[in-house]
């Protein structure tokens, strides 16, 4: 069987420890990290965002080591600048209008094209790349895995607040990002050639200049042989990030094995999967998703167990059973959104919520 490698990218908030607001001093962290981290740390469009990405990992254990190492290094670099690092899909109360934009021709072009839609996109995500044997097989895997995106997304929900308001959503990050073009659940494509023709048409007609401007919740990466999962909020804890990455890898491997046995997973329309995504954003793991095969609503906890059963025959081969079964811990303690909201209900203090996020971000990294 091919090695389904992993690459994990996390986008962090840079926090002022006194005001607990976002601080647009990311460049100091990035510049300080270049010697040790090299290309594994980079700037994002907003100067309050710092992104780190792992090397290519052959298994989930390497991925855990990389994610833990990167978080520790970024926190130490932030400390030297009297900053803190926080992992949540949105900041609880900082306003996007106050944030500085990173000087960069690519970001300048985005702002020129999309104006306040781009400027207001102050969100923080988790992206996971899973290696694929070929683009054609990757495309077929992407088609099938689309169905499970809301199930994965619900576990990651970690952005209930926006500009000082309780939005009523467990993940408001996706509502912010929905304003961008070419986002959300992708359509079904019959082949990699059909997909490439779509991308080339957009380039030819000046809709995009590069395949990286397709920001779907899952995509064939335009430059690497990977399927890239982009739907998730950044989770607070390393354990949650690793659980989600292990789950994504296991789903890719499961679908691949079914394909090799000439077994097909039923395909569903984008419109139907999007119904479940909306529910996941609104309710997280507390609500119900739709089982379109049975044509009925099912509690998330039931679907989570069915998902674990679906991938059960591949997790031992991948050495990721412990990581995947951390789903049960998330179900017990709640997602990042659930835990943020609990602090808010107890304190009615947004600064306390930020303090909690900062504390959780270092869970398992610092004593």
| Per-residue model confidence (pLDDT) at position 265 | 82
pLDDT class for 163, splitting at 50, 70, 90? very high
| Per-residue model confidence (pLDDT) at position 38 | 77
Residue 366 lies in a domain: no
Which token pair is 239? 């354990």
**pLDDT tens for residues 173-184?**
999 999 999 999
Residue 156 CB contacts under 8 Å (≥ 6 apart), including other chains? 89, 126, 171, 231, 232, 233, 234, 235, 240, 244, 335, 336
Residue 254 lies in a domain: yes
C-alpha 33 chain-centroid distance:
23
Sign, CA dihedral 230-236-238-244, equals negative
pLDDT class for 1, splitting at 50, 70, 90? low
Residue 315 lies in a domain: yes
Which token pair is 263? 């077994």
| Residues pairing with 85 in the sheet | 14
**Residue 269 pLDDT exceeds 80:** yes
Q: How many other CB atoms are found less than 10 A from the CB of residue 39? A: 8
**pLDDT tens for residues 121-153?**
999 999 999 999 999 999 999 999 999 999 999
In the predicted model, what is the mean pLDDT of residues 106-127? 94
Query: Is 14 in a helix, a strand, or coil?
Result: strand
Residue 64 lies in a domain: yes
Asked whether the beta carbons of 122 and 206 are under 8 A apart, the reply is no
Residue 319 lies in a domain: yes
Percent pLDDT > 70 in the chain is 99
Phi, psi of 346 (to 5 degrees): -75, -35
| Per-residue model confidence (pLDDT) at position 254 | 97
| Per-residue model confidence (pLDDT) at position 98 | 92
256-284 in b/e form (b: 16+ CB < 10 A) is: beeeeeeeebeebeeeebbbbbebbbbbb
- How many domains, in total, are found in the chain? 1
Query: Is 238 in a helix, a strand, or coil?
Result: helix
| Per-residue model confidence (pLDDT) at position 102 | 87
Give the domain extent around 32. Answer: 6-361
d(CA 20, CA 99): 14
| Per-residue model confidence (pLDDT) at position 29 | 81
CA-CA distances (angstroms) from residue 112 to 43, 117, 120, 148? 19, 10, 13, 35
Q: What is the mean pLDDT of the chain?
A: 94
Supply the DSSP string of 272-326, one letter for each residue. HHHHHHHHHHHHGGGSEEEETTTTEEEEHHHHHHHHHHHTHHHHHHHT-HHHHTT
Residue 110 CB contacts under 8 Å (≥ 6 apart), including other chains? 45, 118
Residue 146 lies in a domain: yes
Residue 123 lies in a domain: yes
**pLDDT tens for residues 200-228?**
999 999 999 989 999 999 999 988 899 99
**Residue 40 pLDDT exceeds 90:** no
**pLDDT tens for residues 304-340?**
999 999 999 999 999 999 999 999 999 999 999 999 9
Which token pair is 290? 């739709």
pLDDT class for 39, splitting at 50, 70, 90? confident
Residue 1 lies in a domain: no
| Per-residue model confidence (pLDDT) at position 287 | 96
In the predicted model, what is the mean pLDDT of residues 87-107? 93
**What CATH number does residue 345 fall under?**
3.30.590.20
| Per-residue model confidence (pLDDT) at position 366 | 66
**pLDDT tens for residues 186-196?**
999 999 999 99
């Amino acid at each position: 069987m091919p090695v389904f490698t992993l690459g994990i990218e996390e986008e962090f908030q840079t926090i002022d420890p006194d005001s607990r607001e976002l601080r647009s001093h990311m460049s100091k962290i990035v510049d300080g990290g270049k010697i040790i981290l090299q290309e594994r740390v980079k700037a994002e469009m907003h100067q309050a965002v710092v992104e780190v990405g792992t090397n290519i990992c052959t298994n989930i254990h390497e991925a855990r080591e990389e994610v833990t190492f990167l978080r520790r290094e970024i926190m130490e670099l932030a400390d030297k600048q009297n900053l803190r690092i926080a992992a949540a899909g949105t900041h609880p109360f900082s306003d996007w209008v106050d944030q500085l934009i990173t000087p960069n021709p690519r970001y300048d072009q985005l702002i020129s094209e999309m104006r306040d839609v781009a400027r207001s996109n102050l969100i923080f995500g988790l992206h996971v790349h899973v290696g694929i044997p070929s683009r054609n097989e990757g495309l077929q895997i992407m088609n099938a895995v689309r169905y499970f995106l809301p199930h994965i997304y619900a576990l990651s929900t970690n952005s209930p607040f926006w500009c000082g308001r309780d939005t009523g959503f467990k993940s408001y990050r996706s509502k912010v990002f929905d304003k961008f073009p070419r986002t959300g659940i992708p359509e079904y494509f019959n082949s990699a050639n059909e997909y490439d023709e779509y991308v080339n048409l957009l380039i030819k007609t000046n809709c995009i200049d590069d395949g990286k401007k397709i920001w779907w919740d899952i995509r064939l990466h335009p430059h690497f042989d990977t399927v890239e999962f982009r739907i998730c909020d950044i989770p607070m804890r390393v354990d949650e990030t690793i659980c989600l990455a292990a789950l994504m890898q296991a789903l890719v491997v499961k679908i691949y094995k079914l394909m090799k046995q000439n077994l097909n997973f039923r395909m569903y329309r984008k419109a139907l999967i999007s119904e479940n995504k909306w529910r996941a954003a609104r309710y997280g793991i507390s609500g119900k998703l739709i089982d379109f095969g049975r044509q009925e609503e099912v509690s998330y906890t039931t679907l989570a167990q069915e998902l674990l059963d679906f991938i059960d025959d591949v997790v031992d081969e991948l050495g990721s059973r412990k990581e995947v079964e951390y789903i049960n811990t998330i179900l017990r303690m709640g997602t990042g959104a659930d835990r943020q909201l609990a602090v808010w209900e107890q304190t009615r203090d947004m600064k306390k919520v930020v303090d909690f996020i900062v504390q959780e971000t270092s869970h398992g990294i610092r004593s």
